[in-house]
Structure 1
Amino acid sequence: MVVRFIDDHRDRFGVEPICRVLTQHGVKIAPSGYYAFKKRPASARAVSDAELVVQIERVFWDRKLGRGISGARKIWRLLAREDIVVARCTVERLMRRQGLRGIRRGKQFITTRPDDAAPRAEDRVKREFYADRPNELWVVDFT
């Protein structure tokens, strides 16, 4: 996030002045650290994730395989069928990052329906949940 900020503003202010101001405001970053980060090659996990995302999206959107409706478990099994060895939690993580979700069947149940006409308890804390000492403030919710 800090590197992206520096990238966005480096043409206008320069890297060294931005790092100096950020350090004064509590975000300690040296210009050498910024340049080292920019030159560092991608990690092995990032490289393998990029390759896996291509395979996951291919399987997910394939009309005969995932059809755009399969979840992580089915995508994981389809990848294993094609001899692509990957952990299921990795498939879940990458699908979540890409915004890919399976379709849920059946009715979505709503377990709690609030009654707007029901009386509400008074807010005695005024939404401030900080106590100066122990046993000064007790908050209980017994729904």
Structure 2
Amino acid sequence: MKFQFIYEHKQEFLVRLMCKVLVVSESGYYAWRKRPKSARAKADRELGAEIEPIFEQSRQTYGSPRVKAALRRKGINCSRKRVARLMRLLGLVSCHRRKKRKVLTTNSQHNNPVAPNRLKRDFTATKPDEKWVGDIVNRRFKVTH
């Protein structure tokens, strides 16, 4: 991790100075640079190259479970956590599309009986318990006879 930081900032600061500040040896840093990439790092790079097109073809909507399923269909077997880690490293974040909700509105085009309007929108009462009002909302009630 420290060697990676030094490598990424070697244009801004002296390597010798960064090694001293981060308490690592210069020889260790240069040995790290010459060391070949591990088999795991190479495999991760190849898997990342497979993940990116799947993510883009999904219009950036697939998360790690769906990307893993797509990889499995291609014959590539790996864990969901590994796919999630590689997506995170590659900066691939799925966007969540909201489901469209059906808006319920009043249906005035029906043959059901309508209660008479006895108050005529006059809700003022001259004494307590003179006028009681209420509202009944019909939400898909099934009437059985």
Coarse TM-score class (shorter-chain normalised): 0.5 to 0.7
Rounded Cα–Cα distance in structure 1 between residues aligned with 2:49 and 2:88:
14
Query: Could you say what the CA RMSD is over the residues aligned between the two structures, in angstroms?
Result: 2.3
SS, match of residue 8 in structure 1: coil
Q: Give 1:35 deviation, angstroms.
A: 1.4
1:60 has 2:55 as partner: yes
Structure 1 portions without partners, runs of 5+: 108-143
1:73 has 2:65 as partner: yes
Aligned residue number for residue 36 of structure 1: 31
> Identical aligned pairs, as a percentage?
36
TM-score (norm 1): 0.56
Tell me if the contact between 2:19 and 2:26 (Cα under 8 Å) persists in the aligned partners: no
Rounded Cα–Cα distance in structure 2 between residues aligned with 1:35 and 1:22:
11
- If asked which structure has higher relative contact order (CA below 8 Å, sep 6+), I would say 2
Structure 2 portions without partners, runs of 5+: 100-145
Rounded Cα–Cα distance in structure 2 between residues aligned with 1:67 and 1:22:
43
Larger radius of gyration: 2
Rounded Cα–Cα distance in structure 2 between residues aligned with 1:68 and 1:22:
40
Q: How does 1:1-143 map to 2 (within 5 A)?
A: 1-5=5-9, 7-8=10-11, 18-19=16-17, 22-23=19-20, 25=21, 27-62=22-57, 66-106=58-98
